[in-house]
Copies of this chain bind each other. A is one copy, B any other.
């Protein structure tokens, strides 16, 4: 613990003529304090409500309207951190975080982020970080093999699945031969380009279309079957229809583990269609891809080895701190065609061997050293350690699904192939109204109120979606620290709040 105020702007000894950084020993002392702060937070995170009970706009006034003119002691700042920052967070690290898809930061992952910050690498060029570049090659290949994908797959780490899928679709655009990177899409009389994905595909695919100049209009949403998986026959019909209309299909995005219900598109059949029509196949498995670490679970992934590109997010079900997204591709050269630019000031002159400069494959130039935390975490957990944790989450989700199925007042709304359960409260007392058009609306309102009531307890945090236009509560297990008692408690809260709401109905 730091007990005396220190002058954080004092010059380190021996650096005359410079103001330098905070004193190295002051950094060391503050660093130890911060580690204790993090360790205490993680050990005690369940003291906090997962979702903090605050209203928008109430936090900003807690801070002064300008930064201080002169530096403040780090102790003051850390005290304010404890008082103003920590309690006003949504606690993604809380084991009761069962909303969206979890991003939980493992201990080894946090240590990795600490080292990343201290070492300060920017692996935009091999030369600006030889270890940052080559460890990324190592870790990407470790993950490729661990996921059961063949050697022709190479790849890189990006910040988010949004960026990974944007890169994939930019490569697809480039693979058409129209050379959008050089000539652009305007002033050329090009046919309308088209991308295909299921109606359940993630919004990041649509956003990539917006960014890339394809537009939301370019995304053709293919209907899904009863399990929310893309219907391949309708995909092929759409491609043929659009082609006949003079449009130009360029890519298909298949999802293994959709965001709403973790549905699995039939990738093998979709791959055959993409190949037949010469389209780029991108597989979005940002969340569920982690399950492919388990060989027995790879039946869900059959066909993805035929994809041109695949995204899997370590910062989801691999428990790696944000941000880390893995983009694998069999066509690195096409990514490079889409993004490479080498101005003189980035040219490496003093090396004979060919180098990999990762910035040539991404929309960004600067890059964080994301491979480091993955290297630390993969070694600390081991593949077997990761597999056991993922397997346990799948087991817990099935257990929860069985509780839902056994309760006549609840209704499960989708299969549970991974660790997410979609359901709603549909009490018997309302069942007689099933034919009434107002029935769905009443159930929707009831479930929105139920979810809100459960979230207000602060013990768990659930989020929602819509399936077949029905308001659907999702319980998504993926936090590293979630155990049986948290899932059981979520069910207990759902049942008791539902009972209370049902009482109001009568």
The distance in angstroms between the C-alpha atoms of A142 and B68, with both chains bound, is 10
Interface membership of A295, Cβ < 8 A: no
**A428: CB under 8 A from chain B?**
no
A398 within 8 A of B: no
Q: Within the assembled complex, what's the spacing in Å between the Cα atoms of A28 and B127?
A: 34
The verdict on A117 contacting chain B, using a C-beta distance below 8 Å, is yes
User: Quick one: closest B residue to A188, CB to CB?
Assistant: B192
From known contacts A71-B379, A455-B350, infer whether A392 and B131 are also in contact, taking CB-CB under 8 Å. Answer: no
A216 at the interface (CB under 8 A from B): yes
Minimum CB–CB distance from A383 to chain B (whole Å) comes to 5
Q: Is A243 positioned at the interface, with any CB of B under 8 Å from its CB? A: no
The 6 closest A-B pairs by CB, nearest first: A213-B213, A184-B215, A187-B192, A18-B483, A17-B484, A38-B118
Known: A35-B28, A138-B63. A368 touches B323 (CB 8 A): yes
Find chain B residues with CB under 8 A from A121 CB: 89-90, 92, 322
What number of copies of this chain does the assembly contain? 2
Q: In the complex, what distance in Å separates the CA atom of A43 from the CA atom of B155?
A: 35
**Of A86, A322, A346, which is in contact with the most chain B CB atoms at under 10 Å from its CB?**
A322
Give complex CA distance A273, B315 in Å.
45
In the complex, which of the residues B193, B341, B466 contacts A206, with contact meaning CB atoms closer than 8 Å?
B341
> Is the CB–CB distance between B383 and A464 below 8 Å?
no
A41 to B118, CA, bound (A): 8
Give the residue of B18, B69, B363 whose beta carbon is less than 8 angstroms from that of A382: B69
Residues A115 and B37 in contact, CB atoms below 8 Å apart: yes
Given contacts A12-B481, A24-B43, 17 further A-B pairs with CB under 8 A are: A18-B484, A27-B38, A31-B39, A31-B110, A56-B130, A68-B383, A84-B131, A89-B131, A89-B132, A110-B117, A159-B364, A186-B213, A186-B218, A187-B193, A210-B341, A212-B213, A349-B464
Can you list 23 A-B contacts (CB < 8 A)?
A8-B380, A9-B381, A27-B42, A56-B351, A60-B137, A63-B138, A65-B141, A71-B381, A74-B111, A85-B135, A85-B372, A88-B130, A90-B129, A105-B117, A114-B114, A181-B216, A182-B217, A183-B215, A187-B191, A207-B363, A210-B341, A211-B211, A345-B463
Min CB gap A81→B, angstroms: 6
Q: Are B21 and A106 touching (Cβ within 8 A)?
A: yes
Given contacts A368-B322, A382-B71, A464-B345, contact A217 B35 (CB under 8 A): no
B379 engages A72 (CB within 8 Å): yes
* A150, CB-defined interface residue at 8 Å: no
Q: Which residues of B contact A163 (CB under 8 A)?
A: 363-364
Query: Interface 1/0s, chain A 140-176, versus B by CB < 8 A?
Result: 0110011000000000000111110010001001000
Is A240 close to B, CB under 8 A? no
A435 located at the interface, meaning its Cβ lies under 8 Å from any Cβ of chain B in the complex: no
A113 is an interface residue with CB less than 8 A from chain B: yes
A419 to chain B, nearest CB (A): 13
A416 CB–B CB distance under 8 Å: no
Q: Is A255 an interface residue (CB 8 A)?
A: no
User: Is A95 located at the chain interface by the 8 A CB criterion?
Assistant: yes
- The reply on A294 being an interface residue by CB < 8 A is no
Number of interface residues of A (CB under 8 A): 191
Interface centre among A182, A213, A353 (most CB of B within 10 A): A213
In A24-61, the 8 Å CB interface with B consists of: 24-28, 30-32, 34-39, 41-43, 51-52, 54-57, 59-60
The yes or no answer to A285 lying at the interface (CB within 8 A) is no
CB–CB A108/B8 < 8 A: yes
Minimum distance in angstroms from A426 CB to a CB of chain B: 19
Residues in B whose Cβ lies below 8 Å from that of A119: 41, 85-86, 89, 93
**For A203, what are the chain B residues with a Cβ–Cβ distance below 8 Å?**
341-343, 346, 365
Q: Does A177 contact B (CB under 8 A)?
A: no
Q: Is A15 an interface residue (CB 8 A)?
A: yes
The answer for the CA separation of A314 and B9 in the assembled complex, in Å, is 18
Name the distance in Å between A410's Cβ and chain B's nearest Cβ. 20
A275 within 8 A of B: no
With A72-B379, A379-B77 already in contact, the answer to whether A480 and B21 are too (CB < 8 A) is: yes
Q: Complex formed: what's the CA distance from A121 to B88 in Å?
A: 11
Chain B residues, CB < 8 A from A341: 203, 206-207, 210, 216
In the complex, the answer to whether B89 meets A130 with C-beta atoms within 8 Å is yes
Q: What CA separation (Å) do A100 and B365 show in the bound complex?
A: 12
B51-A127 in contact (CB<8A): yes
Which B residues touch A502, using CB under 8 A?
none
Q: Tell whether A212 pairs with B212 under 8 Å between CB atoms, given A17-B483, A186-B190, A392-B19.
A: yes
